[in-house]
Amino acid sequence: MLIQLPSGLVELLIPQEVHMPPPSSIELARLLDVQPGESVLDLGCGSGLLSIAAAKLGARQVIATDVDPSALAAARHNSRVNGLENIIELREGSWFEALREEEHFDVIVATPPQTPGPAPGGSRYGGWDGADHLISIISAASAYLNPVRGRLWLLAISLANPARLRQALARHFADVRLIHETIREFTSDEYDSRQEGLMDHLLSLRTKKMADFADQEKGGYVFRNLFLRVARPWTK
């Protein structure tokens, strides 16, 4: 798989057991504002796209974490293929588990699972309202960000409880910006094929204003991909 980014061409090998980077992740890779010489943390790195994008922008160090050994193996291979194995360090662990307390970064980037699920359902899901992983990352990120120039880049989807997301961002950061958004069309069949009753769960959440998506005249639905850049963590 070849992906053209502003910083150059990225070559990725994606094994069958590792998620293919969706268009939204590729868009985030194009938006990153990593500056030469900065340090970057990529949480849930998958195949390594965002780590490679950060390194190509001039990051001096990229720490990439994931809980999936297959994803880490793919990211390691892709780092080597793109000539960045001396910049990107792979660590196994969930979110911040693989870090030392004294480690701090100029940029943290994350695209966590956030589809709401009525019951535990594997790596695609973000809890009952979809926002659990987002909240965990937002709550802990300030401890690992450079307090002056640190930025947290998040890809959030409007299916994941938007009100809960806004509250968490406001609680932990003084500077919250929506940099860009795109739309993602989907159907009932697509989501019910993942888990029986999932579409009914999404509709129930929407009724309670805990999910934001729209009906389309042609049939189906559409949600928004939200590209967020947050900075200036509140001091405790």
Instruction: For the chain, give the mean pLDDT.
Output: 96
**Is the pTM for the entire model greater than 0.85?**
yes
Q: What pLDDT sits at residue 124?
A: 79
Q: What pLDDT sits at residue 89?
A: 98
What confidence category does residue 119 fall into, taking pLDDT thresholds of 50, 70 and 90? Answer: confident
**pLDDT tens-digit map of 143-189:** 999 999 999 999 999 999 999 999 999 999 999 999 999 999 999 99
Q: Which of 33-37, 68-72, 123-127 has the lowest mean pLDDT?
A: 123-127
The length of the chain is 236
**pLDDT tens-digit map of 11-27:** 999 999 999 999 999 99
Pairwise CA distance, residues 4 & 6, whole Å: 7
pLDDT over threshold 70, residue 121: no
Q: What pLDDT sits at residue 230?
A: 98
Closest CA to 52 of 20, 75, 70, 74: 75
Exposure class string for 29-57: b at 16+ Cβ within 10 A, else e: beebebeeebbbbbbbbbbbbbbbbbbbb
What average pLDDT does this structure show over 77-90?
Answer: 98
pLDDT over threshold 70, residue 196: yes
Tokens linked to 184: 């993602």
What confidence category does residue 200 fall into, taking pLDDT thresholds of 50, 70 and 90? Answer: very high
Pairwise CA distance, residues 12 & 22, whole Å: 13
What average pLDDT does this structure show over 28-39?
Answer: 98
Provide the residue ranges of all domains of the chain, joining segments of one domain with +: 2-233
Q: 2-233 adopts what CATH topology? A: Rossmann fold (3.40.50)
pLDDT over threshold 70, residue 122: no
**pLDDT tens-digit map of 127-148:** 999 999 999 999 999 999 999 9
Q: What pLDDT sits at residue 125?
A: 92
Q: What pLDDT sits at residue 72?
A: 98
Percent of the chain at pLDDT > 90 equals 93
Residue 38 near residue 60, CB atoms below 8 Å: yes
